[in-house]
Amino acid sequence: AKNGKKVSTVKPKRRPKSKEVERPSKGRSGPTKKGFLIVRQKGSKVQCVVAESKENHVSVDMVKFVRQLNRESFVDVIGYVVLPKDHVTGATQQVEIQVRKVYCVNSALQMLPLYVEDAARSEADIQAGKPGANQDTRLNFRVIDLRTPTNQGIFSIQSWIQIGWRECLLRKGFIEIHSPKLLAGSSEGGSAVFRLDYKGQPACLAQSPQLHKQMAICADFERVFEVGAVYRAEDSFTHRHLCEFIGLDVEMAIHKHYSEIMDLVGELFPFIFNKINENCQKELEAIRKQYPFQPLKFLPKTLKLTFAEGIQMLKEAGVQADPLGDLNTETERKLGELVREKYDTEFYILHRYPSAVRPFYTMPCADDPNYSNSFDVFIRGEEIISGAQRVHDPELLTEQAKRFGIDVETIKTYIDSFRYGAPPHGGFGVGLERVVMLFCGLNNIRKTSLFSRDPLRLAP
């Protein structure tokens, strides 16, 4: 016991620490003798008690000072770690800090536009009448919003995905590259391009690292990957599209068959999922508390179906889908449900897509040009990856680009790369925010983007 007080101490430790004040509860204990602070550091919180005491050199003024601190202020607290007075003896982490000194390093505003507790509220609590915060307010004041345990968890998981991604690929002989984001022509075609003026020359932001990662293969790098920003001027406002996202990309020379690329996906992602499960239990728990979800079901050997098999499964379930068209969000989800029921997995590959719905650089199937050596990969019935073998013949590539309405002059250096000697190759692209969103069963990609960019949002 320290200073004759009736508290059982757990190895009294002096611990100066920088912390943030979350909610100094005012007036919780009688007149001016005591004040409380809840300090938060990353995900953890601890209660601090400031009690007037001559021996501890804690004055009444100090107690008053603590009581009027604004929530979310940044403080340094010096004190002893103790077990609370009313605590039953036994092992516990329910410690509190008996404060000797508090410094307010930087005060927050008295009234904040958003409080962490409101941003952290679960749907169930909101329905039970507790105050919440709407998505726009949360995104407008994202700096505060990001302090919730859920958000701390989401971005920790995002980081672990990149660790798993790099670890697995580096081990397999890939090297990490960075392709240019300012381009003369669009890499994917279509209207979703941000156009800009490049010193008087028309240019655009890269819709993917596609062209240059392929050019790296032409340059003998053999196996490359990239983690970088991707820009798409999406004009629809959906739960899974951003105007800027983080693309995880792979490109590799292939020896015999495009299945080599799918085999890599089939191994890489279970590796990443296991990585998350091994390292992020606390984070997953925090997210689940606010947004309940079931753990992702995936098989050690990733399931692979053909597009035609998928269409057939849908047909048998009474859902019409064009065998030469693309799936839409609804048919993707439906197929996801059917696959889960039949194969007990929520992660699978669908390959041999119709050529008409794939980008111009996609290799058609040798046995039927209506289909292509391409694939999509799904988590919980939504696309996270598109991949394919690429056309390495410059004449066919030119012909396909023209057919897709692309001005071949703007991608001349790309097409020419295949005239200087190029191996058969292929690869895939993944949206990082989408992987986090779907792994955690979240309903909106804005939740997994640090500072999201969508058709209506360019700030913060």
> What is the binding site for ligand ATP (CB under 6 A)?
188, 232, 234, 240-242, 245, 383-386, 429-431, 433-434, 445
Neighbours of 34 (CB within 10 A): 18
Residue 147 structure tokens: 């302090």
Q: Select 290 or 386, whichever has its Cβ closest to Mg ion.
A: 386
Closest C-alpha to 365, from 357, 353, 373? 373
Catalytic hit among 23, 241, 333, 340? 241
Please identify which of the residues 121, 138, 142, 240 carries the catalytic annotation: 240
Least distance in Å: CB of 77 to ligand ATP? 41
- 383 catalytic residue (yes or no): yes
373 interacts with Mg ion by CB under 5 A: no
Cα 236 to Cα 340: distance, rounded to the nearest angstrom: 29
For ligand ATP, the closer of residues 290 and 362 by Cβ is: 362
Catalytic residue among 167, 234, 309, 399: 234
Residue 58 or 327 having the CB closest to ligand ATP = 327
Report the alpha-carbon angle 327-205-401, nearest 5.
Answer: 55
User: Residue 232 and residue 251: Cα distance in Å, rounded?
Assistant: 20
Least CB distance from residue 385 to ligand ATP, whole Å?
Answer: 5
Q: State the number of binding residues for Mg ion (CB under 5 A).
A: 2
Active-site residue, from 53, 355, 386, 452: 386
Degrees, nearest 5: CA angle 206-273-390: 40
CA dist 195 and 445 (Å) reads 24
- Helix orientation angle between 149-171 and 432-439, rounded to the nearest 10 degrees: 120
Angle value at C-alpha 171, between 168 and 175, nearest 5 degrees: 95
Is 44 tagged catalytic?
A: no
Q: Enumerate residues 6+ apart whose C-beta is below 8 A from 149.
A: 43, 120, 286, 289, 290
Closest separation between CB of residue 153 and Mg ion, Å?
A: 28
- The one of Mg ion, ligand ATP, none whose footprint includes residue 138, by CB under 5 to 8 A per kind, is none
Minimum Å gap between C-beta 277 and ligand ATP is 21
232 is an active site residue: yes
- Confirm whether 255 is a catalytic residue: no
Residue 386 interacting with Mg ion (CB under 5 A): yes
DSSP-assigned beta bridge partners for residue 19 = 75
**How near is the Cβ of 129 to ligand ATP at its closest, in Å?**
35
> Is 434 marked active-site?
yes
341 catalytic residue (yes or no): no
How many CA atoms lie within 13 Å of 35's alpha carbon, on the beta-carbon side?
Answer: 25
Q: Tell me if 150 contacts Mg ion by CB under 5 A.
A: no
Among residues 351, 434, 446, 453, the one annotated as catalytic is: 434
Q: Which residues are tagged catalytic?
A: 232, 234, 240-241, 383, 386, 434
Binding site for Mg ion (CB under 5 A): 383, 386
